[in-house]
Amino acid sequence: MAVLVTGATGHLGPHLIAELLASARFDRVFVVARSSGSEPAARRVQAIERIARTSLTARGIQDAGGHVIAIDGTLDGDRLGLSDRDAAHLANQVDVIIHAAADTRFAAPLDVLRRSNADGTRAVCDFAARCARLRQLLFVSTACVAGQRVGRIPEQVVDAPGFVNAYEQTKWEAERIVTASGLPSRIARLTTCVGGHHAGYVHRSGAIHHLLHWIARGLVPMVPGSDESRIDLISTDVAAAWLARVAVQDPVDVDVCHVALGGSAIPLDMLLDHVVTGLARTGSAARVTRPLVVDHETFRSFQAMVRSSGDALFARVQESASAMLPTLLYPKVFETRSAEACWGGPLPHPDWRSLVSMLVAATVERTPALARV
Amino acid sequence: MPDGSVIGVSGVCGTLAAEWRDIDALASDGLLSSAPGVLREFGFNRAHMANPASGAGPLVLAAARAALEDAALSPTDIDLLIWAGARPESHVRPPRGGTSADVFDGFRYQSAWLQEELGLDNADVLAVAQQGCSTMFSALRVARSILISEPSRSHALCVGGDVLPAGASREILYNVISDGACAVVLSRDAMSDRWVGFRQISCGFYADPIERAPEIMAAYFPLARQVILETLDAHGLRPDDIDIVIPTGVNQASWSILTRLVGIPEDRVYRRSESFGHTILADNFIHLHELRRDGLVRPGQRMLLFTYGFGSSWCALVLEH
C-alpha cells in the first residue's frame, strides 16, 4: 500500500516515518514537504528518513524496506501545490493519508493558524477526494480541541467549547472539515507528545518543551491550576506506533480516538515535583524554584504585574507560558476506549516518571545557559 | 542556655527624609528607569530624599532618640547597639572634604558615632551588613540571640538607615527608593510585641541583582511563601492566625499576590494612606511604629513582617502585640 504523510518535518515526523517503515504494510511512503529557503523538500525529507531509519536500527528493528518519496508540495488547493499531472499520478496511488501537518504555535494569531490548520486540512480533504483508492484519511488532531471543557472528555466530535487559544480553536475547526468531507476518516487526538522514549529524542520543541526550558531557568514562579489539574503527557513513539497501526484499519464511521494516558494522567503537583527533582539531579547551573500552583486570579495578577514592569525576558516567558498554561484551569480526563480498541488493548505507555526524566535531561542538554562553567 | 525570657519590642520609631519629590519630577531629572505611569500603577508617587552629604546619621539619630523615648529607657539602659546598613557607605561617616581619599575614612564608623551622640555608655557596639533590605531583620535576630545567650543584658537598640548618593537612580527593580531610617529597642520581658518566631532563607545564587534580576523576580514569590509558611508552621500557627501583615513599601500589587499565595486574607495587609516608596531597610518598622502610635493593633494580635533583601535573603518575623 501507499501512504501519504503531511507534517513529517514536525515533531512527530521521524517517529511516524520510522513506525510506518517498521510496519511492513506500506511499500511507498509519500512525504509532502515544502521547500524551505535554500533547502529543497527532497533534502528535508531525506534528513527525516535518516533519523527514522537510524532510530529503527538502534532499536534493533528491521524495517521492511519501504521507500520514502519526497513530494515537493504545499497544503494549498486540491492538488497539494502540484501540477495537474503530478497530482493525478499521486492520487491514483494513495491508499491512506495521514495528515499531521499543523501550526502548533499556541500564541500565534487566529487568522495565521486558521490558514495552516483549517485551510490546510481543507486542501488535504480536497486532495483526498481525488484519491480513488483511498481507504482512510487519518487526521492527527489534538486533545486540546476539548478547550475549556472539564471532566470526562468522550471520544466524539463535539460542539465548540470555549477555547484557551487559537490553536485549540483551529484544530477543532479542522476536525469539522474532516467530518463534513464525507471521506472515510479517523480523527486521532493526541495529548502532549514530549519526545520518543526509546532514545530520549525530541525532534522539534513544542510548547511543553519551551515551558520546561523556562522552568529549568528558574523563571516560572507559578502556574495556574488546582488540585484536580492533570497533565496528559505521552511518548511520541507511542503516538507514532498507534498511528502506524491504525493506518491499516479501515474506519467504520468517523472514528474519534484519544491517544492519551486518560485516567492515568499525571497530577500537576506530582509532575512539578518530579521535574524539579530531575532538574536538581542534572547538576544544572540554574537555581530552580518549584512553580506554585495558583488560582486564576492570582496568576492573572502576577501576569499583569509582569506586563506592567516591562521586563523583556520575563514578558517573553509569560507570553510563551500564557498561551498554554491556562488550559490547566480546566481539569479533564480523556476517555481512551476507542484508541485502545484500535490498538488491541491498553497503549504501551512508558512509566511517566522515566518519560519526564528523559524530557528534563533533553531540556538541560539543549539549554546552554544551564551548563555549569 | 536560653533563660526562657520573653524578648519583645519595647520601643520603635521610623523616620523619613523631610524633603520629597513626586514621580514626575524624578522622571524629569532622569532618576527613574520606568515610566511614571507604571510606577504609579505599582503604588508609588514620591521619593523622600535626604541630603547626601549628611548620610544616614541624622535620620538614624532622630529615630533612635524617639525609640528610646517610646521604650521609656535612658541611654545608659542600653546594653547593646547594633547598626544595620544595606549599603556599604551607610556604615561610615560622610567623608571629610566630600571624597574618600583617606583610608581612615573607612574606619569612621556610624555605630561608634551614634554611641557617642546618644550617650550609650554601657553598650557593646556591632554592626550587620550585606543583606540589603533584610539587614534590619538580621540585626534584630542577632540582638535577640545575644539577649538570650547573655542574661545579664536586658536592652538592645537596633538602628538602620540608608541614604542614596547624589544623582543616584531612585528606582531599583521597579521600586521607588526613599531615604529613611528606623530604630527598634528589643527588651527582655517586654510587655508588647513579643518575639514569636523568625526564619530566613538565604540563596547566594541570586547574589548579583543585575545579572540575576529576572531570576530574582521569579524566585521572589515561591521563596517568600516558603519562608512565611515555615515560620508559621514552626510556631504552630496557621496563616489565618496572622491579624496584621506589616509590609515593606515595595510594589503594592505584590502584597496582594503574596497574601493570596500564603492564605492570609488580603485585607490584613497594613496599607498606609500615602506611600513613601521603599526605604530599603526601614519600611516594616516605619509601619510598625505607625500601628503602635495610632492604636491600630490590639493586645494579642499577631503581626507578620516580611522582607526580601539583595544577597539574597527572604526573612519573616512574627510578633505578638
Instruction: Tell me which CATH homologous superfamily contains domain A2-204+232-263+332-350.
Output: NAD(P)-binding Rossmann-like Domain (3.40.50.720)
The answer to whether B251 faces chain A, any CB pair under 8 Å, is: yes
Looking at residue B99, what is its pLDDT?
62
Q: What is the dihedral of CA B145, B146, B148, B154, to 10 degrees?
A: -130
CA triple B133-B138-B144, angle to 5 deg: 150
Q: Collapse the DSSP code of A162 into the 3-class scheme (helix H, G, I; strand E, B; otherwise coil) and give the result.
A: coil
DSSP letter string, A294-348: E-HHHHHHHHHHHHHHT-HHHHHHHHHHHTTGGGGGS-EEE--HHHHHHHTSS--
CA triple B232-B235-B236, angle to 5 deg: 85
Looking at residue A145, what is its pLDDT?
95
CB contact under 8 A, B34 and A309: yes
Tell which of A309, A314, A318, A373 to mutate to test the B interface (max B CBs under 10 Å): A309
Q: Are residues B128 and B184 in the same domain?
A: yes
The answer to whether B148 faces chain A, any CB pair under 8 Å, is: no
Distances (CA, A) of B193 to A175, B68, B133, B189: 65, 16, 21, 10
CB contact under 8 A, B215 and A218: yes
Contact B205, B212 (CB under 8 A): yes
Q: Are residues B36 and B115 in the same domain?
A: yes
Q: Is residue B181 included in any domain, yes or no?
A: yes
Contact A239, A259 (CB under 8 A): yes
Nearest to A222 among B41, B205, B221 (CB): B221
Q: Measure the CA–CA gap between B21 and A205, rounded to whole angstroms.
A: 50
Work out the minimum CA distance from B144 to partner chain A, whole angstroms: 31
- Encode A86-125: b = buried (16+ Cβ within 10 Å), e = exposed: ebeebbebbbbbbbbbbbbbbebeeeebbebbbbbbbbbb
Work out the minimum CA distance from A217 to partner chain B, whole angstroms: 8
Q: Is residue B89 included in any domain, yes or no?
A: yes
Q: Which residue of B has its CA nearest to A219?
A: B218
CB contact under 8 A, B38 and A287: no
Residues of chain B neighbouring A304 (CB-CB closer than 8 A) = 253
Question: With bands split at pLDDT 50, 70 and 90, how would you rate the model's confidence at B240?
Answer: very high
B168-217 pLDDT, tens digit per residue, is 999 988 899 999 999 999 999 998 899 999 999 999 999 999 888 889 98
A144-169 pLDDT, tens digit per residue, is 999 999 999 999 998 888 998 999 99
Contact A171, A141 (CB under 8 A): yes
Residues of chain B neighbouring A320 (CB-CB closer than 8 A) = none
Name the grid cell of A60: 534493533
| HSE (side-chain half, CA atoms, 13 Å) at A299 | 22
- Note the residue count of chain A: 373
B25-81 pLDDT, tens digit per residue, is 999 999 999 999 989 988 899 999 999 989 999 999 999 999 999 999 999 999 999
Q: Which residue of A has its CA nearest to B263?
A: A294
DSSP letter string, A2-24: EEEEE-TTSTTHHHHHHHHHHHT
Residues of chain B neighbouring A218 (CB-CB closer than 8 A) = 215, 218-219
Q: Are residues B215 and B269 in the same domain?
A: yes
The answer to whether B218 faces chain A, any CB pair under 8 Å, is: yes
Strands annotated E in A165-323: 185-190, 192-193, 222-224, 230-231, 233-234, 255-259, 266-267, 292-294
Cell 477555547 found at: A163
Last residue of a domain, one of B161, B188, B215: B188
Task: Give B 261-280 residues with CB within 8 A of chain A.
Answer: 261
Residues of chain B neighbouring A222 (CB-CB closer than 8 A) = 221-222, 261
DSSP letter string, B108-144: -BHHHHHHHHHT-TT-EEEEE-S-GGGHHHHHHHHHH
CATH number reported for the structural domain that contains residue B121 in this entry = 3.40.47.10
Last residue of a domain, one of B153, B188, B223: B188
CA-closest candidate to residue A247, choices A185, A316, A177: A185
Tell which of A302, A303, A319, A320 to mutate to test the B interface (max B CBs under 10 Å): A302
Q: Measure the CA–CA gap between A175 and A156, rounded to whole angstroms.
A: 11
Looking at residue A370, what is its pLDDT?
59
Contact B251, B311 (CB under 8 A): no
CB contact under 8 A, A314 and B218: yes
Work out the minimum CA distance from B173 to partner chain A, whole angstroms: 9
Average pLDDT over residues B269-289: 92
Q: Are residues B257 and B181 in the same domain?
A: no
- For this complex, say whether ipTM is above 0.90: no
Fill in the DSSP letter of residue B102: S
Backbone phi, psi, residue A230, to 5°: -130, 150
CA-closest candidate to residue A146, choices A130, A135, A133, A159: A159
Looking at residue A285, what is its pLDDT?
62
Tell which of A298, A299, A307, A317 to mutate to test the B interface (max B CBs under 10 Å): A298
Average pLDDT over residues B137-158: 97
Q: Are residues B25 and B148 in the same domain?
A: yes
Lowest mean pLDDT among A107-111, A134-138, B220-224, B241-245: A107-111
- Encode B214-240: b = buried (16+ Cβ within 10 Å), e = exposed: bbbbbbbbbbbbbbbbebbeeeebebe
Question: With bands split at pLDDT 50, 70 and 90, how would you rate the model's confidence at B4?
Answer: low
Residues of chain B neighbouring A298 (CB-CB closer than 8 A) = 257, 260-261
Contact B198, B137 (CB under 8 A): yes
Domain tally, chain B: 2
Work out the minimum CA distance from A239 to partner chain B, whole angstroms: 35
Q: Measure the CA–CA gap between B295 and A130, rounded to whole angstroms.
A: 84
Q: Is residue B47 included in any domain, yes or no?
A: yes
Name the grid cell of A28: 511507498
Q: Is residue B1 included in any domain, yes or no?
A: no
* CA distance between the termini of chain B: 26
Distances (CA, A) of B308 to A200, A297, A341, B16, B177: 40, 24, 56, 20, 15
The CB density around residue B210, as the number of other CB atoms within 10 Å, is: 7
Which residues share a beta bridge with A140?
A: A188
Fill in the DSSP letter of residue A93: T
Work out whether strand B80-84 and strand A96-99 pair parallel, antiparallel, or are unpaired: unpaired
List Cβ neighbours of A146 (8 Å cut-off, separation of 6 or more).
A153, A158, A161, A330, A332, A334
Looking at residue B1, what is its pLDDT?
40
Contact B62, B15 (CB under 8 A): yes
Could you tell me the pTM of the whole model?
0.88
Q: Measure the CA–CA gap between B55 and A317, rounded to whole angstroms.
A: 40
Q: Are residues B13 and B154 in the same domain?
A: yes
Backbone phi, psi, residue B163, to 5°: -125, 125
Q: Are residues B25 and B52 in the same domain?
A: yes
Q: Are residues B72 and B13 in the same domain?
A: yes
Mean pLDDT per 10-residue run, chain A (373 residues)? 94 93 92 89 93 89 84 86 89 96 90 95 96 96 94 92 92 97 96 83 77 89 92 95 95 90 95 91 76 93 85 82 84 96 96 91 74 48
Q: Measure the CA–CA gap between B310 and B116, rounded to whole angstroms.
A: 31
Work out the minimum CA distance from A311 to partner chain B, whole angstroms: 8
Q: Which residue of B has its CA nearest to A222?
A: B222
Question: Where exactly are the structural domains of chain A?
Answer: 2-204+232-263+332-350
CB contact under 8 A, A292 and B225: yes
Looking at residue A373, what is its pLDDT?
41
CA triple A170-A176-A178, angle to 5 deg: 105
Looking at residue A322, what is its pLDDT?
78
Q: Are residues B80 and B37 in the same domain?
A: yes
Q: Collapse the DSSP code of A55 into the 3-class scheme (helix H, G, I; strand E, B; otherwise coil) and give the result.
A: helix
B75-129 pLDDT, tens digit per residue, is 999 999 999 999 999 999 987 766 656 788 889 999 999 999 999 999 999 999 9
CB contact under 8 A, A297 and B217: no
The answer to whether B211 faces chain A, any CB pair under 8 Å, is: no
Residue-range definition of the domain harbouring residue B121: 7-188
Q: Is residue B2 included in any domain, yes or no?
A: no
Which residues share a beta bridge with B269?
A: B245
Q: Are residues B109 and B173 in the same domain?
A: yes
Q: Measure the CA–CA gap between A239 and A259, rounded to whole angstroms.
A: 7
Q: Are residues B170 and B226 in the same domain?
A: no
Name the grid cell of A121: 486540512
Residue type, B20: W
Q: Is residue B22 included in any domain, yes or no?
A: yes
Residues of chain A neighbouring B214 (CB-CB closer than 8 A) = 219, 311, 313-314, 317
The answer to whether B201 faces chain A, any CB pair under 8 Å, is: no
Backbone phi, psi, residue A188, to 5°: -105, 110
Q: Collapse the DSSP code of B286 into the 3-class scheme (helix H, G, I; strand E, B; otherwise coil) and give the result.
A: helix
The answer to whether B260 faces chain A, any CB pair under 8 Å, is: yes
CA-closest candidate to residue B81, choices B122, B118, B126: B126
Mean of all residue pLDDT scores within chain B: 93
Residues of chain A neighbouring B223 (CB-CB closer than 8 A) = 289
CB contact under 8 A, B260 and A287: no
